[in-house]
């Protein structure tokens, strides 16, 4: 017997199974949303579950329940998701949950606070003592301009191109980015992106390259991280004001926070003396 938890806040759904003692029995990731990331696809979701069952030697009838975590626009998405799971007729109960509330309750044993997410997109959610839920951010990949994993990747490529042309300071990104993609030079990277041979997810992966350069003292890489960190500090304060929080308890999630140690340090510095939790 086991339980399932699914993180559905990003482009990919991430599944985790736990036994009745809350020990992890397996994890899996799959694409079960439509092209615009808003609509669940029946075939994709069933494939995600069947692949997990095959990997862990389990069956659906032994599942005791599913917690399905939703990121942005919780109230708008709930009716469509309830209808989706009702039509799917799974042999267990499905609980649709707000991921921000889950994170805050897990960390602070209460829902009041701020939850920040930074992966392919970036946004924040806050809860106040009056059970108000507030959202901010979520500009999308075109407008976020360095405030998400995709935006950070674009900023790194832009910094490398400007340096290569002699229009900006020298940066190790000029050599690190082509090496990451196994291309000859930064102009080859530019051409590959414009021809759509490098997709958005691959641009997001440049966060690790930025971290490498920043850790080695590269000024351009550090500036990219610092700008993003300042934004998340401003976002934290704005969300706390919307929720009328007397103090800011913060939890963070997403590939940028989990992989960016230098960004963590800057974020802590700018938030001081605000209370934060950076797992």
State residue 37's pLDDT score. Answer: 45
Looking at the predicted structure, is the pLDDT value of residue 252 above 50?
A: yes
76-85, 198-207, 227-236, 238-247, range with the lowest pLDDT: 76-85
Q: What is the pLDDT of residues 80-125, one digit of tens each?
A: 888 888 888 899 999 988 888 888 888 888 888 999 988 888 899 9
State residue 21's pLDDT score. Answer: 95
CATH class of 110-279: alpha beta
> Which pair of tokens denotes residue 80?
């469509």
Q: What is the pLDDT of residues 215-231, one digit of tens each?
A: 899 999 999 998 998 89
How far apart, in Å, are the Cα atoms of 218 and each of 164, 169, 202, 225? 15, 10, 22, 11
What angle, rounded to 10 degrees, do the helices at 186-194 and 149-164 form?
130
Half-sphere exposure of 135 (CA within 13 A, CB side): 15
Residue 50 or 201, more confident: 50
Looking at the predicted structure, is the pLDDT value of residue 17 above 70?
A: yes
> Which pair of tokens denotes residue 41?
């696809």
CB-neighbour burial class of residue 246 (10 A; exposed 0-12, middle 13-18, buried 19+): exposed
Mean pLDDT confidence for 154-158: 96
- Where in the chain are all domains bearing CATH 3.30.420.40? 2-103, 110-279
Q: Which residues of 174-211 are buried (b: 16+ CB within 10 A; e: fewer)?
A: bebbbebbebeebeebbeebeeeebeeeebbbbbbbbb
State residue 278's pLDDT score. Answer: 45
Please state, for a pLDDT cut of 70, what percent of the chain lies above it: 89
To the question of pTM greater than 0.85 for the whole model, the response is no
State residue 98's pLDDT score. Answer: 84
Please name the residues in contact with 233: beta carbons below 8 A apart, sequence gap of 6 or more.
267, 270, 271
Phi (first) and psi of residue 147, to 5 degrees: -110, 10
Choices 3.30.70.20, 3.40.1360.10, 3.30.420.40, 1.10.580.10: CATH for 2-103: 3.30.420.40
Q: What is the pLDDT of residues 18-55, one digit of tens each?
A: 999 999 999 998 877 654 445 677 888 888 899 999 99
d(CA 236, CA 101): 15
d(CA 256, CA 221): 14
9-18, 67-76, 178-187, 198-207, range with the lowest pLDDT: 67-76
> Mean pLDDT, the chain, as a whole number?
86
CB-neighbour burial class of residue 249 (10 A; exposed 0-12, middle 13-18, buried 19+): buried
State residue 36's pLDDT score. Answer: 47
Please state, for a pLDDT cut of 90, what percent of the chain lies above it: 47
Kindly report the CA angle at 207 between 24 and 267, in degrees rounded to 5? 85
d(CA 218, CA 210): 9
Residue 145 CA, distance from chain mean position? 16
Do the beta carbons of residue 236 and residue 230 sit within 8 Å?
no
State residue 262's pLDDT score. Answer: 67
65: left (phi over 0), alpha (psi -120 to 50) or beta: left
What angle, rounded to 10 degrees, do the helices at 149-164 and 219-242 form?
150
State residue 80's pLDDT score. Answer: 82
Neighbouring C-beta atoms of residue 27, cutoff 10 Å: 13
d(CA 136, CA 72): 9
């Amino acid at each position: 017997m086991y339980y399932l938890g699914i993180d559905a806040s990003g482009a990919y759904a991430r599944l985790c199974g736990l036994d009745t003692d809350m020990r992890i029995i397996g994890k899996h990731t799959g694409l079960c949303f439509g092209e615009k990331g808003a609509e669940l696809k029946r075939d994709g979701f069933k494939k995600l579950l069947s692949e997990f069952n095959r990997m862990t030697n389990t069956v659906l009838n032994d599942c005791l329940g599913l917690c399905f975590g939703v990121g942005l626009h919780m109230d708008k998405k709930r009716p469509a998701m309830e209808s989706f799971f009702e039509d799917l007729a799974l042999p267990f109960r499905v609980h649709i949950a707000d991921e921000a509330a889950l994170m805050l309750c897990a960390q602070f044993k209460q829902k009041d606070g701020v939850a920040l997410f930074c992966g392919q997109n970036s946004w924040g959610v806050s809860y106040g003592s009056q059970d108000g839920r507030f959202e901010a951010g979520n500009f999308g990949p075109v407008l976020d301009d360095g405030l998400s994993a995709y935006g950070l990747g674009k900023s790194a490529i832009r910094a490398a191109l400007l340096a290569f042309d002699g229009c900006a300071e020298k940066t190790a990104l000029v050599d690190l980015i082509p090496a990451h993609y196994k291309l000859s030079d930064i102009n080859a990277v530019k051409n590959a992106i414009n021809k759509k041979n490098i997709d958005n997810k691959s641009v997001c992966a440049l966060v690790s390259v930025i971290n490498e350069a920043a850790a080695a003292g590269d000024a351009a890489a550090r500036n990219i991280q610092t700008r993003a960190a300042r934004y998340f500090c401003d976002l934290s304060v704005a969300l706390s004001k919307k929720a009328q929080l007397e103090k800011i308890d913060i939890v963070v999630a997403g590939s940028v926070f989990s992989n960016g140690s230098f960004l963590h340090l800057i974020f802590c510095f700018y938030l001081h003396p605000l209370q934060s939790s950076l797992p």
